[in-house]
Amino acid sequence: MEIQNINWNYPTNMWFGLNRIKEIQKACDNLNIKNPLIVTDPGILQTDIINKINSSLNLKANIFSKVKSNPTSQNVEEGVKQFNHNNHDGVIAVGGGSGMDTGKGIAFMSKQERPLWDFEDIGDWWTRAISDAIFPIIAVPTTAGTGSETGRASVFTNEKTKEKKIIFHPKMLPSIVILDPDLTIPLPSSLTAYTGMDALAHCFEAYSSNNFHPLSQGIALEGIKMIKDNLILAYKDGKNIKARANMLATSSMGSIAFQKGLGAIHSLSHPVGAIYNTHHGLTNAVFMPYVLQYNKKGIEEKIIDIARYINLKSATFNNFMDWILELRSNLNIPHTLSEIIDDDKNLEKMSLMAFNDPSTSTNPIPVNAEDFLKMYINAFKGDL
């Protein structure tokens, strides 16, 4: 067997449990943050979550919420202006992936001299950054799927090129994560489904990657089982705090696991989100069975192991596929791409974008632009 030379890293301090948000001031004190900026999305402002945070801080924090569901470089630039104008010294990033990614981007970019795209996750581009000028980040996830709270990167849409780009730096990793399941109670059932399927996509693609990373492999496998045991419960009863807590933990597990790599599900989803502004978790869920079928010859033995571990009735590839399809149906996830986008005129363009996506390189079997086009067509028509 060929032995890979590879570096392993594991992330940050995570404070898990009910009402841990009341310790937000302690988190600020630990990081010497005197004047935090809360970064979130407009939806969170419709809940009492920000009030819970501010009521636990010594001084009421300013809020930046001009964040799109698929955040853009402009969102970061506007946030940086507010951050610098008010002399903030840290970020409390609150919400799902959009709020947390934007918060991380603001803390990262506030004192940089290069534009955002100069720090795309290519080679050692991250070394271009002024490392000492990156401000500390506290992440407070309110959904259970994206896993941005344990990631060293953020995803932003380039509004000019309509492409999603990954911006990376080790110091974009939040210093403290507060995992309080009570904050996920307001999450609507539809977003519970979409974000839960996002966590499943992270665990599944990490597990399927050929990179040698047994630590992440174990986390991914356990994450899949926890999703099987808890996602439907959280979807049907949003006040089931145990299911909410397990899904919140699984979200962070998925992000930790995909240090091992992602795959074609994310490669297909990123262009669709950039061009059509679809929800990322929903888009991942739509593509999941089509990519599973495409990768069958490279992952069938791994799938049999999953099926056995999560206690499916029969440990076979087909039975695992049936579970995925049934799970999507029970969560009211569409089966076809045509149900979430209006047209198929960009399929060829998106195929090239998918081929160039960073996630493509760690798909378990090679995939080219023509293969991506076939998967787009199959997903659009619903042909498995």
What is the pLDDT at residue 349?
97
Rounded Cα–Cα distance for residues 130 and 109 (Å): 9
Which is more confidently placed, 3 or 72? 72
Question: Per residue in 216-227, is it b (16+ CB within 10 Å) or e — as a string?
Answer: bbebbbbbbebb
Q: What is the CATH number of the domain that holds 83?
A: 3.40.50.1970
* pLDDT > 90 in the chain, percent: 95
Count of the separate structural domains present in the chain: 2
Q: Are 250 and 145 in contact (CB under 8 A)?
A: no
Q: How much is the average pLDDT of 296-304? A: 98
Q: Are 40 and 71 in contact (CB under 8 A)?
A: no
Axis crossing angle, helix 280-294 with helix 369-381, rounded to the nearest 10: 110
What is the pLDDT at residue 183?
96
Residue 208 token pair: 């399927």
DSSP-derived secondary structure for 218-237: HHHHHHHHHHHHHHHHHHH-
Tell me: do 309 and 347 sit in the same domain: yes
Tell me: do 175 and 226 sit in the same domain: no
Tell me: do 221 and 148 sit in the same domain: no
Tell me: do 39 and 173 sit in the same domain: yes
Model confidence at 194, pLDDT cuts 50, 70, 90, reads very high
What is the pLDDT at residue 253?
96
Tell me: do 180 and 194 sit in the same domain: no
Rounded Cα–Cα distance for residues 100 and 154 (Å): 8
Residue 62 token pair: 């300013």
Domain range for residue 91?
13-184
User: At residue 127, what are phi and psi to the nearest 5 degrees?
Assistant: -70, -10
pLDDT (tens digit per residue) in 195-228: 999 999 999 999 999 999 999 999 999 999 999 9
Residue 126 token pair: 């991250």
Is position 6 within any domain?
Answer: no
Is position 70 within any domain?
Answer: yes
Tell me: do 162 and 309 sit in the same domain: no
pLDDT (tens digit per residue) in 31-49: 999 999 999 999 999 999 9
Tell me: do 88 and 216 sit in the same domain: no
Question: Per residue in 295-321, is it b (16+ CB within 10 Å) or e — as a string?
Answer: beeebeebbbebbeebebeebebeebb
With 80 as the cut, is the pLDDT of residue 151 above it?
yes
With 70 as the cut, is the pLDDT of residue 1 above it?
no
pLDDT (tens digit per residue) in 104-129: 999 999 999 999 999 999 999 999 99
> Domain boundary residue among 184, 200, 226?
184
Tell me: do 137 and 283 sit in the same domain: no
